[in-house]
Chain A
Amino acid sequence: KQEVTQIPAALSVPEGENLVLNCSFTDSAIYNLQWFRQDPGKGLTSLLLIQSSQREQTSGRLNASLDKSSGRSTLYIAASQPGDSATYLCAVLHNAGNMLTFGGGTRLMVKP
């Protein structure tokens, strides 16, 4: 059974700092890994999708890496801003259907 873990569960940083969020999964036979952002009481916003054959994806200040063999992914946020405050979730797709297995999330607070 696929299990996804995110560390840390919560993180507080001052504005401008670069930070790394971690995601690990137990079964390396994945199709892809997706990072999402969730604001309180809202749905999920897709940030980055990394296919199993890729090593990283970049979008603006965000960079996600994937090491399938070790079962790890990281989300790097450069020059953090207060507007980045949210919960960040990683999810893996590990079968031919669209069943995502989610981690518990990292709650990020960026202080002005």
Chain B
Amino acid sequence: KAGVTQTPRYLIKTRGQQVTLSCSPISGHRSVSWYQQTPGQGLQFLFEYFSETQRNKGNFPGRFSGRQFSNSRSEMNVSTLELGDSALYLCASSLGSGFDIQYFGAGTRLSVL
């Protein structure tokens, strides 16, 4: 069974640009969550999508947005990039019951110059 796939693995952007990251969950999983990991703040929850609906949202500005498609694949978009957005972005998939294991992808490393 294929794991969680995130693309691309690495991205370099400049300030003010926008970026879209993609996450394909494990087959059969309906929940996709996104996290930002930085050396200073650690792992922080961005948002979760379940059956194409945003179910939870963390404390991030509106520049961070996401969506989920009918096949459960999810995209995350960051507009007007800032230097502080440089981070490892991780997505996790699960069945979505709240009682099951969350499986993480390898992440997308975003560098903002």
A interface residues (Cβ-Cβ under 8 A, vs B): 31-32, 34, 36, 41-46, 49, 51, 89, 91, 93, 95-105
Contact = CB atoms under 8 A, between A and B. Distances in A.
A99 B104 contact: no
A42 to B, nearest CB: 6
Interface SS of chain B: helix, strand, loop or mixed? strand
Contacts, number: 69
B33 A98 contact: yes
Interface residues of B, number: 30
B56 interface: yes
Contacts of A98: 31, 33, 48, 50, 55-56, 92, 94, 96, 98, 102
Contacts of B92: 44, 98, 100
A20 to B, nearest CB: 21
Interface of B: 4, 6, 31, 33, 35, 42-45, 48, 50, 55-56, 58, 88, 90, 92, 94, 96, 98-107, 109
A97 B48 contact: yes
Given A43-B104, A97-B50, A97-B56, 10 more contacts: A31-B99, A32-B99, A41-B88, A43-B90, A43-B107, A93-B98, A99-B58, A100-B102, A102-B35, A103-B42
